[in-house]
Chain A
Amino acid sequence: MDNRSFVQRFIAKPEFGPLVLLILEIAIFWSINPDFLSPLNISNTLAFTVELGLIALAMTLLMTSGEFDLSVGSVFGLSAVVMWTVFNTGLAPLPVAFLIAIGLAMLIGFVNGWFVTRLAIPSFLVTLGMLLIARGSALYITDGFPQRTWNAEDQWLAQVLVGEFYVGGFRVYMSLLWFVLFAFLAHYVLTQTKAGNWIQASGGNPNAARARGVNVRRTKVLLFMTSSAMAAFAGIISSIRTSAANPNSGTSYELEVIAMVVIGGTVLTGGRGTIIGTVIGIFILRIMRNGIVMVGVPGLAYNIFIGAIILAMMALHSWLERRHNAGT
């Protein structure tokens, strides 16, 4: 087992397939349109990427524990609406409004986790219900109209979250730094800590984990809360960047985020997850969205490509899995 070469072990890793796909994708788009790798296009792509990416990081941990969260897209929209409504009506200064929005999201995550772990209702149903409640609340609060956010300019919080700066010719948003920070943190937690061991065990064999004294319920509830909080954080960042808190924003993000995670090699049924894979999956989908427009494919065809990538990647992962099992 140890005497396999480095290359063989590298190829057997779940992240290998997605990585090859990502490199292929970049090479193809770049060869058709060299502007694809221009500083402007890269920085634009990155700005969109991190908002969904932040949610995907938290979703990876949640899915490794054997659950998933369909309400993230709605929480994405609701949180920004709540923060700006509280601020615009003069109820509280922006940092307090920010904390209220994140706190509300964590409460939503707690309720999701409580229903899933205490009442043993599948997370599909619980978070589907929460998706409707959160989206409905956002629409109700705003009467369906976007909240104005243009007075965000002179707020330090807005600068910390999405302020922009230049590195050489690149315009970089602060949100990219947040994404990098959270990606490292999530990877570290999952692979190097006791919490990571518990997350994987909760998804892999909850009964065995419970018998060893692992608090499976608390682990899952905390992950649901993290997932919601991250969705809120991303929604707020997005609202500041686009100067709009639209009650409809984030619609169907949940599916795109779950697609990113599974493309990267995390399994839907839990037990095994990879943050590196998720980061690759995030880029595969966002670059696809940006690239097909740049090479002249109508943007409306985007979903065809995404669907094909998901099916191809699932086939690859299942083939690797079977080959792995056969080899032992």
Chain B
Amino acid sequence: MIQELVRMQNINKYYGRIHALRDVSLTVNTHEVVGLLGDNGAGKSTLIKVLSGAVPMTSGQIYVKGKEVQMKSTTDAIANGIETIYQDSALVPQLSIARNLFLGREPVKGARLFNRLDHDAMNEVARTLLKRVGITKDIPPTTPIGALSGGERQAVAIARAMHFESNLIILDEPTNNLGVAETQGVLRFVREVRDTGHSCIFIAHNIHHVFQVVDRIVVMRGGKIVADNIDPKKSTIEEVERVITGEHLIEALGLDHG
């Protein structure tokens, strides 16, 4: 049942002379939520940008379901079932929720020549999807994205990824700048994402949030993966924090005088 979904192998990324990713290899399985942790500048965003086609890697391979793929653009990634959700950049603020959900894959009716939008179908699906991602407030699907809160926008983006059967949904610091209730909402979508059979990479600085939703923790430091199989059920937050900062190494070498 559990299979390998995405495998990144020996990824290197240079930004000019900065070596941002050093021989990184990471596998994400089906039905798995992976928490990616690391200090500022560890390379987390760079890694998922490479995976989502937003920046080109310098060397390495990416496999999706065992087949090597080229991620030249975000379109390539989406076509391979990998969807990255940023706070709002993936949505068009002027367009309605329903129009955003179906952008690029609009259902049409009537004569082919005119490609008339099937508004009824779009609104209907939008309403059901909004409920599924836990928006219980009655927001009409015709509301423009610009009128939604940051958390609601992410809910729409997640709803879209779920509807179009993305296999892997990537969330880079989705809880930044969110209120308490909205943060709980986002954590709920992440669980919903796994329960409906998708995989997820979840990046956040708040380790408590990560502990609440992920199946496995991966830690990056200085462009390398330093731990890739921490079970949140068997570890404490303090232990993970020490891996992130590298203190556990200092302790192991007996250099810790504190």
A: residues with CB less than 8 A from B are 1-2, 188, 192-198, 200-201, 203-205, 207-214, 271-272, 324-325, 328
Contact = CB atoms under 8 A, between A and B. Distances in A.
Nearest to A201: B92
Contact of B117 (A193, A207, A208, A211): A193
Contacts, number: 82
Contacts of B115: 193-195
B102 to A, nearest CB: 8
A1 B96 CA distance: 14
Given A271-B93, A272-B94, 17 more contacts: A1-B139, A2-B140, A193-B115, A194-B115, A195-B115, A197-B102, A201-B92, A201-B103, A205-B91, A205-B93, A210-B74, A210-B75, A211-B73, A211-B90, A212-B105, A213-B75, A214-B103
Interface in B112-127: 114-117, 119
Contacts of B93: 204-205, 271
Contact of A197 (B89, B90, B91, B117): B117
B104 A192 contact: no
Interface of B: 73-75, 78-79, 89-95, 99, 102-106, 108, 114-117, 119, 138-140, 143, 146-148
Given A211-B90, A212-B78, A212-B105, A193 B95 contact: no
B103 A192 contact: no
Given A204-B95, A213-B104, A1 B143 contact: yes
Contact of B78 (A201, A213, A272): A213
A213 B94 CA distance: 18
A2 B142 CA distance: 10
A285 B102 CA distance: 38
28 contacts: A1-B139, A2-B138, A188-B114, A192-B114, A192-B116, A192-B117, A192-B119, A193-B117, A194-B108, A194-B117, A197-B117, A200-B92, A200-B99, A201-B92, A201-B95, A201-B99, A201-B103, A204-B92, A205-B91, A208-B92, A209-B92, A211-B73, A211-B75, A213-B105, A214-B103, A214-B104, A271-B94, A325-B146
Contacts of B78: 211-213
A105 to B, nearest CB: 23
A271 B143 contact: no
Contacts of B91: 205, 208
A198 B95 CA distance: 10
A207 B147 contact: no
Contacts of B92: 200-201, 204-205, 208-209, 271
Contacts of B102: 197
A220 to B, nearest CB: 15
A197 B103 contact: yes
Contacts of B74: 210-211
B143 A208 contact: no
B169 to A, nearest CB: 14
A209 B140 contact: no
A164 to B, nearest CB: 32
A325 B106 CA distance: 28
A10 to B, nearest CB: 16
A1 B138 CA distance: 9
Contacts of A214: 103-104
A193 B114 contact: yes
Contacts of B73: 210-211
